[in-house]
Amino acid sequence: MIKKIEDFQNVFFIGVAGVGMSAIAQYLRGIGKEVSGSDRYFHPGEYNKTREQLEAEGIHCFLQDGSGITEKTDLIVVSTAIEDTVYEVQKAKELGIPIIKRSELLSIIAKSKKTIAVAGTSGKSTTSAMLYQILLDAHYEPSIISGAGLTSIIKDGKIGNAAVGKGEWLIIEADESDGSVVQYEPEIGLLLNIDKDHQEIDELIDLFTIFKKNSKSLFIVNQSNTLSKSLSADIKNDFGFEDKNAGYSAENFEQDGLSLTFNVLDQPFQMNSLGQHSVENATAAIAVANQIGIDLKTCAESLANYEGIYRRHQILGQKNGVWVIDDYAHNPGKCAASIKACQPLADKVIAWFQPHGYKPTRFLKDDFINEIADSLRPQDEIWMSEIFYAGGTAVKDISANDLIVGIKEKGKKAHFVEDRNNLLQALKPELKQGVVLLLMGARDPSLEEFCKNLFENL
């Protein structure tokens, strides 16, 4: 039975190229474990960037054919996407090797450090990255296991979603989508928001209530989010946006192009980013950092140099007077916030969205229609292509066009282009000087390349 990090040395990841899996794999390699893994995206004789980056870290990569699992393997890790019918799972069972889920392993790792667990339905990766940057600049030598690549780490040729420092603090994301948030027992629990995403609100409240109880020293919530506010442990430890009751409140917010300015406890802050939600995330990071001993001036100096994270309002550039922005937004609240964040940049925002998964799209249909429609100004437009299907068993009884029809019924400009490869041709008449083109979607590994190619061919 694997209960602590010392209980294994040779670990194998089935699905190692996934963002959550690769982060833990890199972290374990960084602390001296023997790490290997396979992935269905690895093919013979075919270049794979993630594979190359993992192998550069000393992680051995294999095809998903069982060849990497041997008698020396003492732990197998699977993501929630890996089903028991996968051949490698069967082989591991035959060899009697313990099999645990990614979230279980992360909870074991979290117990080995002083952990800050960042939870909430939106903003976990961004807030984790900001907090990591502040701790790094304050010479705390932190570690991080993230759900997205930090630009500052990617610049070194790495995937960017993990780093091992010599200090005592580890920053992780506590995910509610699979219910695993209840497994963590962090030193500090941070709750950014509660909005309908993968589960109903009542279920989310139950999960985050357990998360609150499991947080040992400090539990910090967003006083500007109605539902997270209800779980506050002590308002003076909390953060908020223009909420003077919170111990840490962002005040005097202004957005000038790509520059944000605001004050927290009379300390001025400036960041290169977009939107109110970015300021809320920053204030959350400030609240944590200040309460573990980092002064506000250091926080401000650090955030002024914060470089962002991969595919979170990533500016691809400007061409023919059109700004193109790539964003990971994938649930109703994130899509709406992403659209609103772009509006101060231009008179018109044209947003494109590729929903992921038939089940989540069906579950959130009304929320997508209402929140996206509400976020659009009369001149703005939303375009969608068909739902991304990652494989497995799925009932295909909904289309992205169903969302478009609902948004049109609310009087907003909405268009469906079933095949995204036809998107640019359809969009070109609309792409005029002074327009922002916002590209949104998640979980599809080909989206990065699609967005870059679209920008290059603009």
pLDDT tens sequence across 50-75: 999 999 999 999 999 999 999 999 99
Beta strand segments in 370-418, E: 381-384, 413-416
% the chain with pLDDT above 90: 78
Question: Largest Cα–Cα distance of the chain, in whole Å?
Answer: 63
Instruction: For residue 197, name the pLDDT band (cuts at 50, 70, 90).
Output: low
Return the pLDDT at 310: 84
CB within 8 Å of 357: residues ≥ 6 apart: 387, 388, 389, 390, 394, 443
Length of the chain (residues): 458
Which helix (DSSP H) or strand (DSSP E) does residue 144 occupy? strand 143-145
Token match 């989010």: residue? 225
Which helix (DSSP H) or strand (DSSP E) does residue 218 occupy? strand 218-221
Edge-to-edge, what's the strand order for the sheet holding 267-272? 239-241, 248-256, 259-264, 267-272
Burial label, 162 (beta-carbon count in 10 A; 0-12, 13-18, 19+): buried
State the Cα–Cα distance between residues 332 and 121, nearest whole angstrom: 11
For the cut 80, the answer to whether the pLDDT of residue 259 exceeds it is yes
Return the pLDDT at 166: 97
Q: What is the pLDDT of residues 209-234, one digit of tens each?
A: 999 999 999 999 999 999 999 999 99
Return the pLDDT at 146: 94
Q: What is the pLDDT of residues 1-27, one digit of tens each?
A: 899 999 999 999 999 999 899 999 999
Return the pLDDT at 282: 98
Least confident of 130-139, 267-276, 387-396: 387-396
State the Cα–Cα distance between residues 344 and 271, nearest whole angstrom: 16
Three-state secondary-structure class, residue 104: helix
Return the pLDDT at 143: 98
Cα angle 420-375-434, degrees, rounded to a multiple of 5: 65
Return the pLDDT at 63: 95
118 has which bridge partners?
Answer: 173, 190
Instruction: For residue 199, name the pLDDT band (cuts at 50, 70, 90).
Output: low
177 against 302, higher pLDDT = 302
Mean pLDDT of the chain: 93
For the cut 80, the answer to whether the pLDDT of residue 110 exceeds it is yes
Return the pLDDT at 33: 98
Q: Which of 169, 157, 158 is nearest to 131 (CA)?
A: 169
Instruction: For residue 443, name the pLDDT band (cuts at 50, 70, 90).
Output: confident
For the cut 90, the answer to whether the pLDDT of residue 84 exceeds it is no
Q: Which of 195, 203, 189 is nearest to 234 (CA)?
A: 189
CA–centroid distance for 207 within its chain: 19
Instruction: For residue 198, name the pLDDT band (cuts at 50, 70, 90).
Output: low
Average pLDDT over residues 161-183: 90
Cα separations (Å) of 307 from 66, 91, 250, 268, 381? 39, 43, 20, 18, 29
Prediction pTM value: 0.83
For the cut 70, the answer to whether the pLDDT of residue 167 exceeds it is yes
For the cut 60, the answer to whether the pLDDT of residue 348 exceeds it is yes
The secondary structure of 339-368 as a DSSP string is HHHHGGG-SEEEEEEE-B-HHHHHHTHHHH
394 against 112, higher pLDDT = 112
